[in-house]
Amino acid sequence: GNSVTQMEGPVTLSEEAFLTINCTYTATGYPSLFWYVQYPGEGLQLLLKATKADDKGSNKGFEATYRKETTSFHLEKGSVQVSDSAVYFCALSDRGTASKLTFGTGTRLQVTL
Amino acid sequence: KAGVTQTPRYLIKTRGQQVTLSCSPISGHRSVSWYQQTPGQGLQFLFEYFSETQRNKGNFPGRFSGRQFSNSRSEMNVSTLELGDSALYLCASSPQTGSLGNSPLHFGNGTRLTVT
């Protein structure tokens, strides 16, 4: 079956530091890949997505590239802000079941001044 | 446009009882999915409804059920509650019409269920 593996958290960074959150996946076929973010007390918000190999998703300074050869979709940001503190989830969906997402365990990011 | 609305935000129930949670999708969205979020198991897919029909189902026991109405609003029901059902239940809607495609899900803020 499908699975998503994320790096363990929490990740603590100083403001303006570089962020990488690793994500690898196992899936048959050609899944779509997503990063969602969850702020305290809220649901999940889509951060970015990529639907085919070598696609780069980007939003709000965050980027991730769909790497089929390494089955990875690592999240990066060049300079984090305190407001980026949240839990980040990597997820995938099969082409045939697009609303059935398989999520990673989530990585908590804490950014300090 | 209003987002996905879930009611109630918080619920406390006793073991053995049943509970119904409600979800109003974004206007025009016909697909509604439900997820359970717990510290131990993370986010797990429960089921998806489209045009009042269950289109996909996760690996949950039959105590978990749902339905969708003609206006796309959805409810999920959990019967004979167990302590392990304590979780944040998230509803998500999507504009997607077919099962193919990659339209992102729009999540509500969830209903936090506590079973005592």
Query: In this predicted model, what pLDDT tens digit does every residue of B14-55 receive, in sequence order?
Result: 999 999 999 999 999 999 999 999 998 999 999 999 989 998
Q: Assign B6 a pLDDT band (cuts: 50, 70, 90).
A: very high
Compute the mean pLDDT over every residue in chain A, rounded to the nearest whole number.
Answer: 93
**Chain A neighbors of B111, CB-CB under 8 A:** none
At B85 the three-state DSSP class reads: helix
pLDDT tens column, A47-91: 999 988 999 999 999 999 999 999 999 999 999 999 999 999 999
Q: What residues in B contact A104, CB-CB < 8 Å? A: 42
**Region class of A106: left (phi > 0), else alpha (psi between -120 and 50), else beta:** left
Closest Cβ opposite residue B99 in set A34, A98, A106 = A98
CA torsion A56→A58→A62→A64, rounded to 10°? Answer: -20
Contact with chain B for residue A1, Cβ under 8 A = no
A100 and B58 in contact by Cβ < 8 A? yes
Shortest alpha-carbon distance between residue B90 and chain A (Å)? 7
Q: Tell me whether residues B90 and A89 touch, CB distance under 8 A.
A: no
Mutation test of the interface with chain A: which of B29, B105, B111, choosing the one with the most A Cβ atoms within 10 A?
Answer: B105
Is A99 close to B55, i.e. CB distance below 8 A? yes
Which residues have a Cβ under 8 Å from the Cβ of B12 and sit 6 or more positions away? Answer: B113, B114, B115, B116
Residue-wise over A91-111: b if at least 16 C-beta within 10 A, else e? Answer: bbbbeebbbbbbbbbbbebeb
